[in-house]
């Protein structure tokens, strides 16, 4: 099949979250299955033309919006033999930030990403690339399924092109003031409650749910959670109408980048058969984050956005009692809400040698935390899939997670009777649930070391490779093609 991936971010070019990991990895594995896959991204200011050897392939490209034509340039590069096209428009994407300026979302995001969605479609025609599937990801490209049905239903070039829309996080839907609607060119007849209208605003994701041939999300449990409230964030009834076309496919992991046996960011390699390298990684982690260097004290790692979604406002209420009452260390890496940055960034001064923190993101530090920690904490309010808990499994770093979304699908609960499992789960997001679950993990480390080591080995044997997920997407694409044919 010919498949066009449309997304707002993808590694290695630009990343703010797990969306970038998925869109950077899945095309590569679909290509290994024999498909002609191409990726389209905006050319943000941060994506350096020389660094990635980007060449101009279309200049100019005319993109018709609702009431005007917008002109842009198209650059081409590649990653892992996947062709990557970049839509360059200085006014829309020539900015330091991707979605915001560091404090506020850009006021013209509706125009920026509405234009990008149209440009992805026009790019296909100009390249004479006739896709069987256009796979769009999250609200930033959610208008593509609608444009295909509204503008191109009987267009000979796109008459057999099906659309798949993937929801990576339903909390971010792309809701904008209705004054942007004329520029988007979706037609007044579509500004109605079942399609785009949302309390007199335009909702990009809502329209994609209506118009996409198939809708997917990034774990089976999350697919179930968004069919009711509050998991659906107001869209559950519209997803319920598409229940037969909704599927949850668990994200895979690119083990070429996340593997303790080959990780170029860590000071030593290790495996499930030889953990000596993990002890070296732990010592380096403690040294780098100014923790007391002790091999026999458990380290709990955190690599995350510091937001309410991730549950760190709840952890904040109890962490001082954890550190005072348990012999344990914490390492934090992340950024997010200002008060959380200040709170977690200030903890090392209050608990020297017990807590380390780095506010921001650093790839090498993230790998070191995965390799050097004994446990990895993810107390999420909701988690569509989550990737760090899967990375942690591979590194023998046992996850401590709330039982939601992909966390539930990937972490097997510890059985104190059998000594089996791959992590520790709790159901209710409140301070005491976090406290007692961390206490359970820490007591297992000290009091049942044979269980801890057996779990560590079991965790490292789990396999969430992208090939299995890619095959499930193949099946979804065929279903989408059947749905598209029914629109004729």
CB neighbours of residue 371 within 10 Å: 30
Question: For the segment 47-81, what is each residue's pLDDT rounded down to a tens digit?
Answer: 999 999 999 999 999 999 988 999 999 999 999 89
> What HEC string does 415-427 produce?
ECCCCECCEEEEC
Give 96-104 contacts, CB < 8 A, sequence gap 24+.
96/45, 96/46, 98/8, 98/9, 98/14, 98/16, 98/44, 98/46, 99/8, 99/16
What's the pLDDT tens digit per position in 345-379?
Answer: 999 999 999 999 999 989 999 999 999 999 999 99
* H or E segment to which residue 330 belongs: strand 329-334
Pairing of strands 214-217, 246-248: parallel
Tell me phi and psi for residue 83, to 5 degrees.
-65, 135
Binding-site members are 15
- Summarised one tens digit per residue, pLDDT across range 436-487 is 999 999 999 999 999 999 999 999 999 999 999 999 999 999 999 999 988 7
Within 77-159, where are the H helices? 90-93, 109-127, 143-150
List pLDDT tens digits, range 103-124: 789 999 999 999 999 999 999 9
Half-sphere exposure of 290 toward its Cβ, with a 13 Å CA cutoff?
A: 10
Binding-site residue ranges for ADP-alpha-D-glucose: 15
pLDDT at 488: 61
How far apart are the C-alpha atoms of 271 and 264, rounded to whole Å? 14
DSSP 14: B
To the question of pTM greater than 0.85 for the whole model, the response is yes
- The 10s digit of each residue's pLDDT in 119-155 is 999 999 999 999 999 999 999 999 999 999 999 988 9
Question: What's the distance, CA 215 to chain centroid?
Answer: 16
Relative to beta strand 82-88, strand 69-79 is antiparallel
Residue 276 tokens, joined: 């000596």
What residue ranges define each of the domains in the chain, with the CATH number in brackets?
Answer: 2-252+466-485 (3.40.50.2000), 276-460 (3.40.50.2000)
Average pLDDT, the chain: 96
């Amino acid at each position: 099949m010919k498949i066009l991936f449309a997304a707002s971010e993808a590694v290695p070019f630009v990343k703010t979250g797990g969306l970038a990991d998925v869109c950077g990895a899945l095309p590569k594995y679909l290509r290994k299955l024999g498909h002609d896959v191409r990726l389209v991204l905006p050319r943000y200011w941060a994506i350096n033309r020389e660094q990635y050897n980007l060449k101009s392939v279309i200049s100019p490209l005319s993109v018709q919006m609702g009431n005007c034509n917008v002109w842009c340039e198209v650059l081409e590069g590649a990653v892992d033999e996947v062709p990557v096209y970049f839509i360059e428009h200085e006014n829309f994407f020539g900015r330091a930030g991707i979605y915001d300026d560091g404090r506020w979302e850009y006021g013209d995001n509706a125009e920026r990403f509405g234009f990008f969605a149209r440009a992805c479609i026009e790019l296909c025609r100009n390249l004479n690339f006739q896709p069987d599937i256009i796979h769009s990801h999250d609200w930033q490209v959610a208008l593509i399924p609608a444009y295909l049905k509204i503008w191109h239903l009987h267009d000979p070039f796109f008459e057999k092109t099906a659309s798949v829309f993937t929801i990576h996080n339903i909390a971010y839907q792309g809701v904008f003031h209705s004054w942007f609607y004329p520029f988007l060119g979706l037609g007044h007849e579509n500004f109605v409650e079942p399609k785009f209208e949302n309390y007199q605003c335009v909702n990009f994701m809502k329209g994609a749910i209506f118009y996409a041939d198939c809708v997917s999300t990034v774990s089976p449990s999350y697919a179930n959670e968004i069919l009711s409230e509050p998991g659906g964030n107001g869209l559950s009834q519209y997803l319920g109408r598409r229940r037969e076309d909704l599927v949850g496919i668990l994200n895979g992991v690119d083990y070429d980048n996340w593997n303790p046996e080959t990780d170029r960011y860590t000071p030593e390699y290790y495996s499930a058969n030889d953990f000596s390298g993990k002890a070296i990684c732990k010592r380096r982690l403690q040294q780098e984050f100014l923790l007391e260097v002790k091999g026999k004290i458990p380290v709990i790692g955190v690599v995350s956005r510091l937001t309410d979604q991730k549950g760190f406002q709840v952890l904040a209420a109890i962490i001082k009692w954890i550190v005072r009452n348990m012999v344990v260390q914490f390492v934090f890496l992340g950024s997010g809400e200002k008060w959380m940055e200040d709170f977690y960034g200030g903890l090392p001064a209050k608990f020297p040698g017990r807590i380390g923190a780095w506010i921001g993101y650093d790839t090498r530090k993230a790998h070191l935390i995965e390799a050097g920690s004994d446990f990895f904490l993810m107390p999420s309010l909701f988690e569509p899939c989550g990737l760090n808990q899967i990375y942690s499994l591979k590194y023998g770093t046992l996850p401590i997670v709330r039982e939601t979304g992909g966390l539930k699908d990937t972490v097997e609960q510890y059985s104190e009777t059998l000594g089996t499992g791959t992590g520790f789960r709790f159901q209710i997001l409140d301070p005491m649930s976090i406290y007692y679950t961390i206490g359970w993990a820490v007591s297992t480390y000290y009091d049942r070391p044979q269980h801890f080591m057996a779990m560590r080995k079991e965790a490292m044997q789990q396999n969430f490779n992208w090939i299995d997920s890619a095959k499930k997407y193949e099946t979804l694409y065929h279903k989408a093609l059947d749905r598209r044919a029914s629109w004729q």
